[in-house]
A and B are shown apart, each in its own frame.
Chain A
C-alpha cells in the first residue's frame, strides 16, 4: 500500500469534496474538513507505528517515473526526521481547525475556500517532507506558498494584503535562487553518470569546492528565508501579525520547519564540504537570531509580534544545533522543531482567543486576565513556560540537547546561546505579568473564559508539551538514527569527549 501517497492524497480528496458542496453549506464544509484532517492524523499515527526504528535509510519508499526526459521521479520516502515532522503537521491541522472554528468567517471569501486552502496546504506539507526527489521537493516547496498567500491575504487582519505579498515575494526570491542551485546540481549529475534528482544519488556526486559553495548558498538562502534567520526574517512578524491564529500556527509551526528540515536534508547531505566552510558564519547568524529575536520580543507591544520574534530566537537555536554537526545537536534541533511547533501552536491559539475576545492584540490592553478568565490565563502561562524551556516541559529537553551538542564543538557559541534562555524568561514573563496579573484593565471585566471547543483544541497540545517534557524518548529513538546517518554520510563525527582536561 502506498502509505505516503494516501496520506498526501487524503486531504486533497477532502478539499475536492468540500469544493463540490453548495455555497450555503459552510457548516458542513467545516465538519468535512475536520473529519478529513482527523482521518489524516490517524493515518499518520498508523504510519508512525509501522515505522521501523532500526532500519537504515528511507522507509515507505515509493518511486514512479514522472518526467523521464529530465530524470524526474515521483519518489517519496521518510526517515526519522521526516516522520516526526509529518506527524507534527498532521496532528496540528485538526487542532487548528477546531481552534479556529470561526476564523474563516471574517474573510474575504466564504468558509469553503478557507478549508479548501487549509487542506491543500496539508497535502503540500506532507509532500514537502516526504519527497526524496529534489525536483518534487521543489514543486511542493514553491506550490505551498500559494495557499498560504491566499490564507493570509484573504482571511487575515490589518495590513493582510501587504503582509501576504511580502511573504510571497521573499519566499519566491529564495525559491528561485534554490531553483538555480537545483539546476546546477542536476547538470553536474548529468556529467557524472546520468541526470537524476534522486537525493541519494546526488549526495554521491563529487563537486569542486567553488561550485559547491555557490550551490550550497542557493539552497541555504532559500531555507534561511523560510526558517527565518537574521537578517532574512523581516517578512515573518508582518505575516504573523496579519494572519489568523490558525494560519500563523501552520506558518510558524510547520512551514518554517521546512527551512530547518531542508538544511539537514539538503544543505548538509548534498554539500557536506561547503556546510563545513560556512559553519562559522551560520553559527554567528544563528546567535544573532537568538539574541536579536529575544530582544525584539521583549520590546513588542503586540502579542502576535511577540510570538513571531520568539520564534526567530528559537529558529536561531535550531539552526545552531544543526550546524554544530554533532548528533546531539541534530537530534536536539529536530526535537526542537517538533516542540516549537506545539508550544507556538499553544501560544498563538490562546493569544488568538484572547485577542478576539478583547478585540485587540496589544499587550497593554490586557491585564488581570487571570481573575477574569483563569483557565485561558493558565493555558497561556503553560504555553509560555514551554516556550522559555522550563524543565518538565518539552522545549527544555531540546534546548538542552542543542546547547550540549553545540558546546562539544563550539563552546563559546553555546555559552552565548545560553543568554537566549535568560532573555526568554524575560520576554515570556514580562507579558505574562502584564497581561495575566495585576489589576483588571478597564474593558476586560466581561471577557468569557475558555469554551468547550477551545478546551478540546488546546488539551492535546498541552498534553503533548507535558508528555514530551517528561518522556521524549519515543521521539528521540526515531530521530537519533536519522541524525547519526545524516552526519556519518556527510563525514562528520562527534568530537571525542575529554576527561578532566587531560
Chain B
C-alpha cells in the first residue's frame, strides 16, 4: 500500500500557473493567426505573471509550508524571491514585447533567403514568450527547491529556455547564436558539475533532501571528504550561473550577443533565482560547515568585485560594460551571502530587488537607442545623447548612479545594507574591498554620463525610438522603483525583515 502524494497545490500555485501559461503559449504559437499572435502572446504572458503574483500574495502569510512531499519549501525568503522574480519578469516582458528585437524565424539560417522572406512577409514567430514563461517557472522553483533533485530540475528548466532565448536576436544573428552556443556549452558543463556534486553529497549523507544533508553535517560522523567534494562541485554550478570569478568568462559574450531585452531579463531575474538557491543552500544546509566554504567564498567575493570593476573600465561596448558591472554586483551580493546572518539575508534580498529593477530599466533604455541598422551599443556613438533625448539620458544616468551606489537611489541603500551585514559578521576586509571597488566602478559609470552629456555631438544618425508605450512604462516604473527604494525603503525593508527567516 502506498500513500498518494500530497502536492499542496495552493502553495505551488504560482509555479504551476506560470507553467500552465507557458503551455498555453506554445499552443497559441501553433494555432493563432500570425497577425494577432504577438499581441495575444504578450497579453497571455503578462496576464499569467500577474495571476501568478496574485496567487503568491494569497500565500504570503504562511510561516512555513512544505509542498510536493517536502521537495519544495515555501517560507518567507521563498515568497520574497518569487515575488521579486515575478515583478522583474513582468516588467522585463513589457520590454520583450517589442518583438522587433527578435528574429522572425529562429530556424532559418542567418542571412538566408528564407530569413529575408519571413521578415518581409511579417511572419514573426513569437516563441520568445512561452520560453520566457518556462524560464520564469524554473526561476520560481529554484530558490524554493528543498532537495537536490528538485534543485537540478529547476536549474535545467530555467537554463534551457535561456540558452535558446540568447540566440534569438534579429540583428547580428551570428553573434547572437555564437553567444547562445557558448552559454549552452558552458552551462552544460556547469550542470554536469552540479550533478557530480549532488552525487557526492548523497554519498556523504545518504539523502538528497537539504534537511537530510544538514543532519549529516551536524552529525559529523559522515565522510568529510565527500562533503568537501560535493560542496565544491555544487557551488561551482551555482557560481557559474551568477557569473562569479573565475567562472565569469561567459557573461560578457552572452550579455553582448543576446537580444538586449533578454540580457536585461537574464541579468536581473537569473541573479535573483541563483542567489536565492545559494542562500538557501549555504544558510540552511551548510551553515554549520561554514569553515569549509566561507573562506573560499570570501576570496571569490573579493576577486569578483575587483575583476568586475577593473575590467569594466576597458570596455567600449555598453552591454559588455554592464556585463562586467553585473559581475561586480555579484561580488557585492556575495558579501551578503558570506555574512551568514539575518542581516546578510535581508540585505541580499533587498539588493536583489534593487539591482533587478535598475538592470531591467538600464537594459530597457539600451533597446531604445538605435539607428537605421538597429540598436547601438558602441559607447562612442552615444555621444551627445543627453542633448537629443534629455529625458531618456537622465533616466539612464539615474540607473547608472544607482549602480554606482549614490545616495537617494536604491543602489545606495542596498550597498549600505549589504556592507553593514558583512561588517557585522566581522568580515571587515571584504567591506574595505567592496568600498574600493565601488570607487573604481564609479569611474566607468560616470564615463557613460560624460559621454552622453559632455561629449560633443558627432552628428550621428542615432535616435531614441520608443517602440510602444509598454516599454516606456517598464523603464519609467523601474526608475520610479529605484528612486522610491532609495528615498523611502522602509515598507520594503520591513516586509523583508519580517519574512526573511529560512525554515529548515
Contacts and interface: CB of A to CB of B under 8 A. Distances in A.
A153 B456 CA distance: 12
B450 interface: yes
B44 interface: no
A67 B419 contact: no
A150 B420 CA distance: 31
Given A146-B401, A179-B416, A169 B432 contact: no
B453 A154 contact: yes
Given A142-B407, A143-B406, A153-B454, A168 B435 contact: no
A488 to B, nearest CB: 31
A165 B450 CA distance: 8
Given A146-B406, A184-B423, A186-B420, A169 B443 contact: yes
A172 B439 contact: yes
Given A68-B490, A169-B442, A108 B406 contact: no
A143 B408 contact: yes
Contacts of B488: 66-67
Contact of B435 (A70, A153, A177, A187): A177
Given A183-B423, A186-B420, A138 B407 contact: yes
Interface string B419-431: 1100110001001
Contact of B424 (A68, A169, A190): A190
B491 to A, nearest CB: 10
30 contacts: A67-B488, A67-B489, A67-B490, A67-B493, A69-B494, A69-B497, A70-B416, A70-B420, A108-B386, A108-B454, A109-B387, A142-B406, A143-B407, A146-B406, A153-B454, A154-B453, A161-B455, A172-B406, A172-B442, A173-B439, A173-B442, A176-B435, A176-B436, A179-B416, A180-B419, A183-B416, A183-B423, A187-B420, A187-B424, A190-B424
B423 A187 contact: yes
A425 interface: no
Nearest to A218: B435
Contacts of A183: 416, 419-420, 423, 431
Nearest to A136: B407
Interface string A125-144: 00000000001001110110
B438 interface: yes
B406 A180 contact: no
B417 A180 contact: no
Interface string A145-165: 110001001100000110011
Contacts of A184: 423, 428
B406 A164 contact: no
Contacts of A146: 401, 406
A186 B431 CA distance: 14
Contact of B438 (A68, A139, A176): A176
Contacts of B408: 139, 143
Interface residues of A, number: 35
Nearest to A177: B435
B446 interface: yes
A348 to B, nearest CB: 23
A179 B450 contact: no
Nearest to A172: B442
Nearest to B350: A69
A34 to B, nearest CB: 24
Nearest to B387: A108
Contacts of A161: 450, 454-455
Interface of A: 66-70, 108-109, 135, 138-140, 142-143, 145-146, 150, 153-154, 160-161, 164-165, 168-169, 172-173, 176-177, 179-180, 183-184, 186-187, 190
Given A165-B446, A172-B439, A69 B490 contact: yes
B213 to A, nearest CB: 32
List 10 tightest A-B contacts by C-beta distance, closest first. Answer: A161-B454, A139-B407, A69-B493, A180-B435, A173-B439, A142-B407, A176-B435, A172-B442, A143-B407, A187-B423
Given A67-B413, A67-B490, 8 more contacts: A70-B493, A108-B387, A142-B407, A143-B406, A146-B406, A153-B453, A160-B454, A180-B431
Interface in B386-441: 386-387, 390, 401, 404, 406-408, 412-413, 415-417, 419-420, 423-424, 428, 431-432, 435-436, 438-439
B347 to A, nearest CB: 10
Contacts of A140: 407
B442 A179 contact: no
A135 B419 CA distance: 14
Nearest to A65: B490
Contacts of B497: 69
A222 to B, nearest CB: 11
Contacts of B417: 70
A69 B350 CA distance: 13
Nearest to B457: A108
B439 A176 contact: yes
Contacts of B438: 176
Q: Which residue of A135, A168, A190 has the most chain B CB atoms within 10 A of its CB atom?
A: A168
B468 to A, nearest CB: 27
Contacts of B436: 176
Q: Which residue of A67, A69, A150, A173 has the most chain B CB atoms within 10 A of its CB atom?
A: A69
Contacts of A179: 415-416, 419, 435
Nearest to B406: A142
A156 to B, nearest CB: 10
Contacts of B450: 153, 161, 164-165
B301 to A, nearest CB: 16
A154 B449 CA distance: 12
A168 B431 contact: no
A69 B454 CA distance: 40
A82 B140 CA distance: 52
A371 to B, nearest CB: 40
A262 to B, nearest CB: 16
Contacts of B415: 179
Q: Which residue of A140, A160, A183 has the most chain B CB atoms within 10 A of its CB atom?
A: A183
Contacts of B419: 179-180, 183
A154 B406 CA distance: 20
Contacts of A164: 450, 454
A139 B450 CA distance: 23
